[in-house]
Structure 1
């Protein structure tokens, strides 16, 4: 396949990208506390539906297996010219697919709830992994090497603080408004936060791409293990 490498952004574009990627991380941290398969909110919802602990482990296994989609991302995205739009629109589909699990009791009979959870979580996770390599390349290009450690530290701190606050508030909210209605509100909040994280990307400058020598699938796959 033909590899594409990103060129650096201008100074003003870099400043704007760093600020917006910070907001993006905050929104996604809030989303992750709701949508993560092994988070208290999601596992609480699964137990509310009557699933067993082993069922939750099965869902987590399928979610992890969906990570293999990253292997095919370069092949699927190399001919897409508007990669930023691809990331955003597929990201919207990921968010909506994963958090649509909250509507399972309304549209599926009880004996299909477990299968519905697996299908939606796995499908949404696959979509997320398809765009992840492209997004990571976009994100890495935006950060100048001389401030990379400081910026990542700042962003990571903001992400962890947001996750802690979101998890605490969501837990207290579910204690106050127990039952299905509480989960609906929390999942709708998570969906809004996740979509907001992708909406921010509309304003992030995307670097120009330049082509390099084409390589096959297997050389690209094992490239990180080769000595440079």
Structure 2
């Protein structure tokens, strides 16, 4: 018996300890997402559009604000190089995340600090500065989380995390809609911002518990050679440029759905919340389906499959001419949820799974920069289009743009999409 005891594996405690540390790290990453989801849901989408309308913003100004978050992604290229010089990613991440949270939450103070004629300008200034800080924070977080989550459990972990956080986001979205309907105007937004201030602070605190995981740095120590790695990767660049073009088309209309529903269809916040909740629920359900398909098919092939689904969601808006409004809007949101859920999940997997680990920060930065430029011009052009067609027939303003964009997306997916997003 003593001999058998002496032959027990000496490495087992170490494996158990390593598994325990990994589990703890994944729990921290999940808990961090809870306050992040709560305050972000209340500061974006329909609530962002509603608050801008309350401040007196025009459709083009709303389009500009919606586009800003993606334009600043260009800065991620510089950040991806600079983080190679950092002795610690954690504290740089905490610093930039905290700046983003504080500045974004501060937009709620605009009506209390500035004269009314400067409300929109002050909001844009704070919002822009916040997302410049977020440019650095998001590169650092993506780099840390890709090292934190083991490749073997990455798909399952992100599927569970995304499902849980989206479910939470749906509840928060619905609750926020009820608040704004019950307390219209400044009173309702003040209540939302109080919740935002609480949970943005909590989010910063949870970030302090992130581990400072080891960083496998690039083999290049100069900027241009490091940048050339993804730029000379032909398959990566073709896919990225195609997806950037796709997002340009998609963002001509999707970010402005809230504007159309609030201003042109006079839908209340509670109904809009239900529409967005339905979109989120079907997006969550799609995570499981896309995840299972991803075990059989490549990220690029499945990305191609998501494109016609997103296009159809835009075309469905045309049914407003013959079917009840809410039936059509629920159908459009549900189909879009299924398509965009797969698109976002597979695009993320494509970046962190199909790229070299040592060069991953620069790959992620190049992808974010190129798609960010296209996503910037999408809402900007879309906002201008709605200004140009202000005096056109009502049906063109409500769903005419969606029909044109949907048809263009179908053509793009069937031609370039089939060529570029095929398995190598």
Shorter chain as denominator, the TM-score bin is 0.7 to 0.9
Greater relative contact order (Cα 8 A, min sep 6): structure 1 or 2?
1
State whether residues 16 and 204 of structure 1, in contact with CA within 8 Å, keep that contact through their aligned partners in structure 2.
no
Q: Is the 8 A contact 2:220 2:226 kept in 1?
A: no
Cα distance 1:102–1:154, how it changes in 2: closer, same or farther (>3 A)? Answer: same
| Aligned residue number for residue 24 of structure 2 | 16
In the superposition, relative to structure 1, how do residues 215 and 77 fare at CA in structure 2: closer, same or farther (>3 Å)?
A: closer
What is the Cα deviation at residue 211 of structure 1?
Answer: 4.7
Name the residue aligned to 2:326. Answer: none
Q: Does 1:68 align with 2:74?
A: yes
Question: For structure 1, which runs of at least 5 residues remain unmatched after alignment?
Answer: 1-8
Higher strand share: 1
Other structure's SS at 2:208 match: helix
TM superposition outliers: structure 1 runs of 4+ over 4 Å: none
Say yes or no: does 1:134 pair with 2:131: no
User: Per-residue CA shift, 1:48-100, capped at 9, x if unaligned?
Assistant: 11212221111122232111121111233333323212211221111111121
Equivalent residues in 2 for 1:175-186, closer than 5 Å: 175-186=181-192
Q: 1:210, CA displacement in angstroms?
A: 4.9
State TM-score, norm by structure 1. 0.87
Q: Does 1:172 align with 2:160?
A: no
Which range moves more in the overlay, 118-127 or 193-202?
193-202
Cα distance in structure 2, aligned partners of 1:113 and 1:55 = 12
Q: Distance in 2 between matches of 1:158 and 1:190?
A: 20
Shift of 1:198: 3.0
- Please name the residue that 1:3 is paired with: none
Of the three residues 2, 25, 44, the one matched with 2:33 is: 25
The SS at the match of 1:35 is coil
| Cα distance, 1:181 vs structure 2 | 2.4
By how many angstroms is 1:111 displaced?
A: 2.1
* TM-score normalised over the length of structure 2: 0.48
**Do the aligned partners of residues 211 and 45 (structure 1) sit closer, same or farther apart at CA in structure 2, a change above 3 Å counting?**
closer
Q: Is the 8 A contact 2:147 2:213 kept in 1?
A: yes
SS at match of 1:62: helix
- Given that 1:73 and 1:131 are in contact with CA atoms closer than 8 Å, whether structure 2 keeps it comes out as no
Consecutive unaligned residues of structure 2, counting only runs of 5 or more, are 1-16, 235-355, 357-424
SS at match of 1:185: helix
**Which range is displaced more, 152-161 or 187-196?**
187-196
Q: In the aligned structure 1, how far is the partner of 2:125 from the partner of 2:60? A: 17
Inter-partner Cα distance in structure 2 for 1:70 and 1:111:
33
Q: For residues 145-170 of structure 1, give each alpha carbon's deviation from its aligned partner in whole angstroms, at most 9, with x where no partner exists.
A: 22111111100101211111111001
CA 1:163–1:113 in 2, change beyond 3 Å: closer, same or farther?
A: same
Per mean C-alpha deviation after superposition, the further-off stretch among 168-177 and 192-201 is 192-201
Distance 2:53 2:170 in 1: 22
RMSD: 2.0
Distance in structure 2 (CA, Å) of the matches to 1:97 and 1:219: 34
**1:90 lines up with 2:96 in the alignment:** yes
Question: Which residue pairs with 2:211 in the alignment?
Answer: 205
1:160 alignment partner in structure 2: 166
CA distance in 2, matches of 1:181, 1:76: 43
